[in-house]
């Protein structure tokens, strides 16, 4: 039964959302896809309709993957960061969540501490991490201030300054991203653990199951829906990694002196860098590649999770 | 394996600062004979589950001791006690098949007890056969009916060959028909394995029907221990009398005066040996005899025919229950259109309890 | 895989065995339990008890050591941020970083940060954008969620499914065209451009709709019978019931404005409209380009972080609930 008056009322209530979505969501989907396939497109052409200098084609995509391009470098960076940070942070978050779940005194306090990084500004705290790893003074000179991390571990590693290695850069990024990703994952996994019927653990206890076996045979399978959830959101977030790199390395997206095809820039970074100079075609193509990757990874994740969490 | 409970006590600290601590179990002493099936019976919150969990080792007693045979197991953790526990909602691991569930406890065995895969499978199939689920071994728990899940849970508890088997409300999640069937099943399995078994229930019928002995509990205190029929025939206090039996016992306000029991104005029974006092009079439904000369006159409400028996529903001013339910042989015909019914009483079905203490007041039954 | 193989090999044979031993089976069960109980001598029990106690204590200590170590790692950057912001520039440039300011606390860094970063204006800008966009967004979200939860109209399911589908698409795909759109519209360097494109959040609409759906239909019909208008019903019944969600949305939306970097950088990078996070990263924190004044930079970082800490301290419950319930990824 559809009330006539409800028809137009509903559309009035929805009007603001629909109008805004048409302009800022629906139109961009079509337009961005179109721009990705326009060769030699320049926004200036639109001002002069007679000068119609573009054709449909794959040139934007080809350009993206051209030899030693900033995009391939960014693609590798993004994939590597994802592959490194998502499993590490998920495993660590799971361990912390399980540990938190098993204690009573201090549980609330520790839980609050672990949630703290969630409510922070990733650029601001990135700058703090940067300061912790940064070398002040001449790199290589014993008189330089090697930063607090080197101080704590008694090392003199050049993490992110001029002449630093890519491995060191990655290490800094991985540490920061994991630190940043923990609170959300801990919260979701802890929620999952709290939802598990305590009797499963009692049953395991009566059977004398060891702690490690309980973890792998009972805890992990029972919270597997949550694990899959944090993995999927983790991968999606990882593919869109950007502001954490800005936080650490600044807008140059890399250590001083690194070229665009060797810095720490990510796919999203490439897209945004292309916009102010009007390279819409290239940016659109990059965004489509990103979309396809995210789609594939999500589908794979869901497929695997369907197999492993079905009960 | 006999199980001995010695002054077993469990006190839960209060939840908030000013609250009272809760004595869940108070000085429970009992020797469970080897190879028997014991029912812990009582309303919710009576401490029966707490007792079970203490025997199991999942909860530590605040005081008292627990022995398995001669071994003091009070401080042992569950896995070192050799117990099998069947949870109320079975707690079957949802991600494992029936076979994996049953084999899980065996895979935990360490040291000398360690088993090969073949031995484990053999044992698992053995137990599965015992509880008759050997054709369901590759299913997941979600693909089983409630009764089948129950059997898997029992199989999982039995597979380690526990010294003591514990069941927490084993039938409460089953529908009425399955419940009847499963309780016979539990009795059979227990008979076949001879494992000392303790189960917890709030359903007196369930406890009475399968237990070798029942323990009736109330607010952490054991009220009475005995064979089901003994406890039914000889309740020590009003609580036990009320708790056992369906339909429930009829309770009247009464008084003992000069070795006679009065309900209202009428002297209804000779109670030799009972001192003068105000009493609760408990009369089992089967304790009534329809008798035109009976001393107890009630207002007839209706008669429910149940085949062999009839249930006479009547009212009396002194009755504590809204209606009196008596079960008599169907041969007892009441006159058409009768508004009153008179009963005489079977003395051994009448129990007196002191008005204040609610303890049993005994009298001589010829 | 291996497990399966073994099962198939063994199972039939085992079943056969059982058939022959089933009669004996019961007795063997009994024997075995008896044996085991006999083995449990007094001394063994003592040993087991001892082992149990040690294992328990060691386990507990291990768990706490792990958690506290992780907690310290989580907290350290915050500590470092605050003490660095209070060091003098000279102390900061010492060869050995000090774990506590030894040359006195230099609060002047904060004044300096405020001045150099023009933080007064940027704070005000950010708060303005945050409040306006949150308020408008709430109105749009509530109205849409109400229509989708409460009202019946043709194409509702299709519309809702379409909206949800857009959540699959990474925001960057929209950003490209949106950037072009706002440039074409001449909206760059205005507050409008910071507010309007992000007013609709399908996720919040979805969240609130789920919330509204849980309110029983009878309440709505009762209100209709009493002649209550839709908007009044929305205001008097649905909004109070959905309050926790609305608060969560408000907090997250405000935090979004506070933390937004990418979009402001693209479209509103002039001094008049700059938002706080963008300003934080792009300001040159010292007049001398050779020696970045890190203490001042850290003071600015602290200033930006303080409001977030306040939100955390006072509204933590709402955020944690919101995140835990719906998995909002901030």
Check which CATH number belongs to the domain holding A195 and give it.
Answer: 1.10.3720.10
- Can you tell me the mean pLDDT for A56-60? 79
Q: What total of structural domains would you count in chain C?
A: 2
Q: What total of structural domains would you count in chain A?
A: 1
Dihedral angle, C-alpha C88, C91, C93, C99, nearest 10 °: -110
Number of Cα atoms under 13 Å in the Cβ half of residue C248: 24
In a mutational test of the C interface, the residue from A15, A17, A35, A276 whose CB has the highest number of chain C CBs within 10 Å is A17
Contact list, A210 vs chain B (CB under 8 Å): 108, 110
What are the angstrom distances between the C-alpha of C53 and each of A81, A103, C4, C46, C50? 43, 17, 39, 11, 5
DSSP 3-state of B198: strand
Distance CA C319, CA C249 (A): 9
- Can you tell me the mean pLDDT for B240-246? 89
Q: Which DSSP letter does residue C214 get?
A: T
Nearest CB partner across the interface for B94, out of A202, A217, A311: A311
| E strand or H helix at C9 | helix C2-39
Contact B319, B250 (CB under 8 A): yes
Nearest CB partner across the interface for B91, out of A197, A213, A311: A197
Q: What is the pLDDT of residues A85-136, one digit of tens each?
A: 999 999 999 999 999 998 888 898 999 899 888 888 889 999 999 989 988 8
In a mutational test of the C interface, the residue from A3, A11, A71, A124 whose CB has the highest number of chain C CBs within 10 Å is A124
DSSP 3-state of C76: helix
Structure confidence at residue C4 (pLDDT): 41
CA Rg, chain C, in Å?
32
Nearest CB partner across the interface for A203, out of B77, B80, B87: B87
Distance CA A142, CA A138 (A): 8
Q: Kindly give the interhelix angle for C2-39 and B117-130, rounded to the nearest 10 degrees.
A: 80
Q: Please determine, for residue C37, whether its predicted confidence score (pLDDT) is greater than 60.
A: no
Distance CA A192, CA A219 (A): 10
Structure tokens at A286: 């990059």
Q: What is the pLDDT of residues B91-141, one digit of tens each?
A: 888 888 999 999 988 888 877 778 888 889 998 998 898 888 889 999 988
Contact B91, B169 (CB under 8 A): no
Beta-bridged to residue B267, according to DSSP, are: B262
Distance CA A89, CA A186 (A): 9
- Asked if C33 lies within 8 A of B99 by C-beta distance, the reply is no
Nearest CB partner across the interface for B140, out of A197, A209, A311: A311
In a domain, A8, yes or no: no
Contact B48, B42 (CB under 8 A): yes
For the beta carbon of residue B142, count every other beta carbon within 10 angstroms: 11
Structure confidence at residue C328 (pLDDT): 45
- Can you tell me the mean pLDDT for C166-189? 87
Q: Please determine, for residue B19, whether its predicted confidence score (pLDDT) is greater than 90.
A: no
In a domain, C30, yes or no: yes
Separation in Å, CA of B78 to nearest CA in chain A: 5
Contact list, B137 vs chain C (CB under 8 Å): 11
- Asked if C173 lies within 8 A of A35 by C-beta distance, the reply is no
In a domain, A188, yes or no: yes
Structure confidence at residue A87 (pLDDT): 94
Same domain, C229 and C137: yes
Distance CA A26, CA B73 (A): 70
Q: Please determine, for residue C6, whether its predicted confidence score (pLDDT) is greater than 50.
A: no
Check CB contact of B68 with chain C, cutoff 8 Å: yes
- Can you tell me the mean pLDDT for B177-194? 86
Same domain, C66 and C197: no
- Can you tell me the mean pLDDT for A44-51? 56
Q: How far is CA C72 from the centre of its chain?
A: 20
Lookup result for tokens 């001995």: B4
Nearest CB partner across the interface for C18, out of B129, B162, B192: B129
DSSP 3-state of A98: helix
Q: Which DSSP letter does residue A265 get?
A: -
Structure tokens at A129: 């991490």
Distance CA C276, CA C117 (A): 9
Distance CA A93, CA A183 (A): 8
In a mutational test of the C interface, the residue from A9, A13, A139 whose CB has the highest number of chain C CBs within 10 Å is A13
- Can you tell me the mean pLDDT for C140-167? 89
Q: Please determine, for residue B178, whether its predicted confidence score (pLDDT) is greater than 90.
A: no
Q: Please determine, for residue C201, whether its predicted confidence score (pLDDT) is greater than 70.
A: yes
In a domain, C102, yes or no: no
Structure tokens at A189: 């996994």
In a domain, C295, yes or no: no
Q: What is the pLDDT of residues B68-93, one digit of tens each?
A: 888 888 888 888 888 888 988 888 88
- Can you tell me the mean pLDDT for B201-213? 88
| E strand or H helix at C44 | helix C42-85
In a domain, A296, yes or no: no
Same domain, C128 and C274: yes
Contact list, C91 vs chain A (CB under 8 Å): none
**Which class for C50: exposed (0-12), middle (13-18), buried (19 or more C-beta within 10 A)?**
exposed
Q: What is the pLDDT of residues A275-288, one digit of tens each?
A: 888 788 888 999 99
DSSP 3-state of B324: strand
- Which residues have C-beta within 8 Å of that of residue C330, sequence separation ≥ 6? A118, A119, A184, C252, C255, C256, C259, C323
Q: What is the pLDDT of residues C254-287, one digit of tens each?
A: 888 888 888 888 888 888 888 888 888 888 777 6
Same domain, C270 and C139: yes
- Can you tell me the mean pLDDT for B219-230? 90
Contact list, B163 vs chain C (CB under 8 Å): 33, 36-37
Range of the structural domain that residue C22 is part of: 2-79
Q: Please determine, for residue A44, whether its predicted confidence score (pLDDT) is greater than 80.
A: no
Range of the structural domain that residue A248 is part of: 74-274
Q: Tell me what the pLDDT averaged over chain A comes to.
A: 85
What band does C8 get if pLDDT is binned at 50, 70 and 90? very low
Q: Please determine, for residue C190, whether its predicted confidence score (pLDDT) is greater than 80.
A: yes
Same domain, C62 and C208: no
Structure confidence at residue C74 (pLDDT): 94
Check CB contact of C185 with chain A, cutoff 8 Å: no
Check CB contact of B97 with chain A, cutoff 8 Å: no
Contact B352, B365 (CB under 8 A): no
Distance CA A169, CA A161 (A): 9
Check CB contact of C226 with chain B, cutoff 8 Å: no
In a domain, A64, yes or no: no
Separation in Å, CA of C220 to nearest CA in chain A: 13
Lookup result for tokens 């200033």: C303
**Nearest by Cα to B168 from B31, B56, B23:** B56
Contact B163, B195 (CB under 8 A): yes
Same domain, C126 and C53: no
| E strand or H helix at B118 | helix B117-130
Distance CA B345, CA C61 (A): 69
Between C171 and C31, where is the model more confident? C171
- The CATH number linked to C206 is 1.10.3720.10
Percent of chain B whose pLDDT exceeds 90? 29
What band does A53 get if pLDDT is binned at 50, 70 and 90? low
What band does C73 get if pLDDT is binned at 50, 70 and 90? very high
**Which class for C157: exposed (0-12), middle (13-18), buried (19 or more C-beta within 10 A)?**
exposed
Check CB contact of C1 with chain B, cutoff 8 Å: no
**Nearest by Cα to C242 from C156, C159, C168, C326:** C326
CB interface of C with B, residues 50-89, below 8 Å: 52
Among the ranges given (A179-183, B153-157, C203-207, C322-326), the one the predictor scored with the smallest mean pLDDT: C322-326
Distance CA A109, CA C215 (A): 35
In a mutational test of the A interface, the residue from C62, C75, C77, C330 whose CB has the highest number of chain A CBs within 10 Å is C77
Same domain, C164 and C272: yes
Q: Please determine, for residue A48, whether its predicted confidence score (pLDDT) is greater than 60.
A: no
Lookup result for tokens 């008599």: B328
pTM: 0.80
Structure confidence at residue C88 (pLDDT): 84
Name the percent of chain C in helix, strand, coil, to the closest 5.
Answer: 80, 0, 20
- Can you tell me the mean pLDDT for C32-53? 64
Q: What is the pLDDT of residues B245-256, one digit of tens each?
A: 888 999 999 999
What are the angstrom distances between the C-alpha of A281 and each of A58, A289, B322? 10, 12, 86
Q: Which DSSP letter does residue B272 get?
A: T
Percent of chain C whose pLDDT exceeds 90? 19
Same domain, C12 and C158: no
In a domain, A80, yes or no: yes
- Measure the N-to-C terminal CA separation of chain B; round to a whole number of Å: 41
Check CB contact of B104 with chain A, cutoff 8 Å: yes
What band does A309 get if pLDDT is binned at 50, 70 and 90? low
Distance CA C85, CA C110 (A): 8
Same domain, C65 and C123: no
Q: Which DSSP letter does residue A254 get?
A: S
Instruction: Give the phi and the psi of residue B76 in degrees, each rounded to 5.
Output: -75, 145
Residue of A nearest to B78 (CA): A206
In a domain, C122, yes or no: yes
Sheet holding B309-315, edge to edge: B288-290, B340-345, B296-306, B309-315, B324-329
- Asked if A29 lies within 8 A of C66 by C-beta distance, the reply is no
- Can you tell me the mean pLDDT for B203-219? 89
- Asked if A217 lies within 8 A of B79 by C-beta distance, the reply is no
| E strand or H helix at A21 | helix A4-21
Same domain, C269 and C142: yes
Beta-bridged to residue B299, according to DSSP, are: B315, B340
In a domain, A270, yes or no: yes
Q: What is the pLDDT of residues A196-218, one digit of tens each?
A: 888 888 888 888 888 888 888 88
In a domain, C322, yes or no: no
Structure confidence at residue C289 (pLDDT): 61
Beta-bridged to residue A99, according to DSSP, are: none
- Can you tell me the mean pLDDT for B134-155? 89
Check CB contact of B138 with chain A, cutoff 8 Å: no
Contact C320, A186 (CB under 8 A): no
Q: Kindly give the interhelix angle for A107-115 and C294-326, rounded to the nearest 10 degrees.
A: 120
Distance CA B139, CA C328 (A): 36
As a whole number of angstroms, the longest Cα–Cα distance in chain C is: 94
- Asked if B93 lies within 8 A of A213 by C-beta distance, the reply is no
Distance CA C135, CA C254 (A): 10
Separation in Å, CA of A187 to nearest CA in chain C: 6
Q: What is the pLDDT of residues A150-164, one digit of tens each?
A: 888 888 888 888 888
In a domain, A91, yes or no: yes
Residue of C nearest to B84 (CA): C33
Dihedral angle, C-alpha A256, A262, A268, A273, nearest 10 °: 60
Structure confidence at residue B198 (pLDDT): 92
DSSP 3-state of B63: strand
Contact list, A218 vs chain B (CB under 8 Å): 93
Same domain, C160 and C262: yes
Separation in Å, CA of B269 to nearest CA in chain A: 53
Q: Which DSSP letter does residue B20 get?
A: P
Strand B288-290 to B340-345 pairing? antiparallel
In a mutational test of the C interface, the residue from B125, B131, B188 whose CB has the highest number of chain C CBs within 10 Å is B125
Structure confidence at residue A1 (pLDDT): 44
CB interface of C with A, residues 84-143, below 8 Å: 84, 92-97, 99, 139-141, 143
CB pairs under 8 A between B and C: 78
Distance CA C12, CA C15 (A): 5
Number of Cα atoms under 13 Å in the Cβ half of residue B233: 8
- Asked if B108 lies within 8 A of A311 by C-beta distance, the reply is no
């Amino acid at each position: 039964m559809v009330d006539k008056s409800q028809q137009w009322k509903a559309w009035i209530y929805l009007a603001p959302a629909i109008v805004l979505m048409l302009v800022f969501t629906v139109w961009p989907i079509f337009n961005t896809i179109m721009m990705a396939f326009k060769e030699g497109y320049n926004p200036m052409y639109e001002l002069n309709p007679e000068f119609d200098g573009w054709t449909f084609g794959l040139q934007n995509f080809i350009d993206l993957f051209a030899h030693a391009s900033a995009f391939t470098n960014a693609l590798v960076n993004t994939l590597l960061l994802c592959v490194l940070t998502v499993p590490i942070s998920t495993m660590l978050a799971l361990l912390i969540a399980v540990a938190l779940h098993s204690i009573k005194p201090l549980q609330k306090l520790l839980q609050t501490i672990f949630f703290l990084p969630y409510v922070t500004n990733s650029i601001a705290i990135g700058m703090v991490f940067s300061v912790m790893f940064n070398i002040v003074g001449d790199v290589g000179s014993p008189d330089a201030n090697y930063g607090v991390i080197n101080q704590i571990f008694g090392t003199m590693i050049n993490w992110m300054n001029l002449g630093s290695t890519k491995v060191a850069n990655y290490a800094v990024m991985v540490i920061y991203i994991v630190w940043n990703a923990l609170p959300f994952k801990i919260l979701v996994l802890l929620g999952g653990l709290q939802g598990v019927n305590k009797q499963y653990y009692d049953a395991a206890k009566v059977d004398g199951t060891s702690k490690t076996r309980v973890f792998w045979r009972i805890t992990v399978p029972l919270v597997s829906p949550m694990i899959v959830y944090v993995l999927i959101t983790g991968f999606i977030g990882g593919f869109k990694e950007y502001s954490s790199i800005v936080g650490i390395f600044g807008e140059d997206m890399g250590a001083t002196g690194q070229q665009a095809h060797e810095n720490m820039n990510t796919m999203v970074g490439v897209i945004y860098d292309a916009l102010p100079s009007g390279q819409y075609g290239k940016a659109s193509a990059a965004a489509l590649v990103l979309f396809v990757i995210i789609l594939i990874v999500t589908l794979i994740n869901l497929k695997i999770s369907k197999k492993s969490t079905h009960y | 394996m006999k199980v001995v409970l010695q002054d077993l006590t469990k006190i839960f600290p209060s939840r908030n600062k000013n609250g009272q601590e809760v004595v869940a179990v108070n000085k429970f002493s009992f020797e469970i004979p080897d190879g028997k099936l014991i029912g812990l019976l009582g309303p919710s919150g009576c401490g029966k589950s707490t007792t079970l969990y203490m025997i199991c080792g999942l909860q530590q007693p605040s005081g008292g001791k627990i022995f398995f045979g001669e071994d003091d197991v009070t401080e042992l953790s569950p896995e070192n006690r050799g117990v099998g526990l069947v949870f109320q909602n079975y707690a079957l691991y949802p991600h494992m098949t029936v076979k994996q569930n049953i084999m899980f406890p065996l895979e935990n065995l360490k040291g000398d007890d360690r088993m090969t895969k073949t031995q484990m499978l053999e044992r698992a199939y053995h137990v599965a056969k015992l509880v008759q689920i050997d054709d369901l071994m590759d299913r997941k728990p979600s693909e089983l009916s409630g009764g089948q899940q129950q059997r898997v849970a029992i199989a999982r508890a039995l597979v380690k060959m526990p010294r003591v088997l514990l069941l927490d409300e084993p039938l409460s999640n089953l529908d009425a028909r399955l419940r009847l069937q499963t309780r016979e099943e539990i009795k059979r399995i227990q008979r076949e394995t001879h494992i000392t078994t303790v189960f917890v229930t709030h359903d007196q019928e369930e406890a009475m029907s399968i237990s070798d002995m029942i323990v009736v509990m109330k607010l952490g205190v054991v009220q009475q221990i005995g064979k089901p029929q003994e406890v039914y025939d000889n309740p020590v206090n009003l609580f036990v009398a009320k708790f056992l039996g369906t339909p429930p016992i009829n309770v009247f306000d009464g008084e003992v005066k000069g070795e006679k029991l009065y309900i209202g104005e009428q002297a209804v029974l000779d109670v030799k040996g009972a001192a003068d006092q105000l009493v609760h009079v408990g009369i089992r439904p089967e304790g009534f005899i329809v008798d035109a000369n009976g001393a107890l006159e009630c207002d007839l409400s209706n008669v429910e025919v149940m085949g062999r028996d009839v249930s006479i529903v009547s009212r009396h001013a002194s009755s504590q229950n809204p209606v009196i339910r008596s079960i008599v042989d169907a041969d007892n015909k009441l006159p058409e259109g009768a508004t009153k019914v008179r009963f005489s009483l079977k003395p051994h079905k009448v129990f007196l309890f002191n008005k204040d203490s609610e303890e049993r007041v005994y009298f001589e039954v010829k | 895989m291996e497990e399966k193989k073994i099962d198939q090999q063994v199972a039939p044979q085992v079943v056969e065995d059982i058939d022959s031993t089933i009669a004996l089976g019961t007795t063997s069960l009994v024997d075995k339990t008896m044996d085991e109980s006999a083995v449990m001598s007094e001394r063994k029990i003592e040993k087991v008890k001892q082992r149990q106690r040690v294992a328990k204590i060691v386990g507990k200590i291990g768990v706490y050591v792990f958690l506290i170590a992780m907690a310290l790692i989580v907290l350290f950057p915050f500590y470092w941020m605050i003490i660095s912001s209070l060091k003098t520039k000279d102390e900061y440039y010492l060869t050995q970083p000090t774990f506590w300011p030894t040359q006195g606390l230099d609060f002047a860094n904060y004044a300096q940060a405020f001045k150099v970063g023009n933080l007064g204006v940027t704070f005000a800008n950010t708060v303005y954008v945050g409040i306006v966009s949150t308020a408008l967004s709430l109105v749009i979200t509530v109205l849409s969620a109400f229509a989708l939860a409460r009202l019946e109209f043709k194409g509702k399911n299709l519309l809702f499914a379409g909206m949800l589908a857009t959540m699959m698409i990474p925001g960057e795909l929209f950003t490209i065209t949106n950037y072009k759109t706002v440039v074409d519209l001449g909206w760059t360097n205005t507050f409008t451009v910071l507010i309007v494109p992000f007013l609709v959040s399908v996720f919040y609409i979805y969240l609130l709709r789920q919330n509204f759906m849980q309110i029983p239909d009878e309440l709505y019909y009762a209100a209709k019978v009493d002649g209550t208008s839709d908007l009044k019903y929305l205001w008097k019944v649905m909004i109070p019931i959905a309050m926790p969600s609305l608060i969560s949305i408000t907090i997250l939306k405000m935090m979004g404005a506070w933390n937004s970097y990418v979009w402001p950088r693209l479209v509103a990078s002039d001094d008049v409209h700059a938002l706080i996070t963008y300003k934080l990263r792009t300001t040159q924190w010292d007049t001398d380009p050779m020696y970045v004044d890190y203490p001042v930079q850290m003071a600015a970082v602290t200033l930006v972080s303080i409001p977030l800490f306040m939100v955390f301290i006072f509204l933590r419950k709402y955020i944690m609930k919101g995140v835990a319930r719906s998995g909002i990824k901030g």
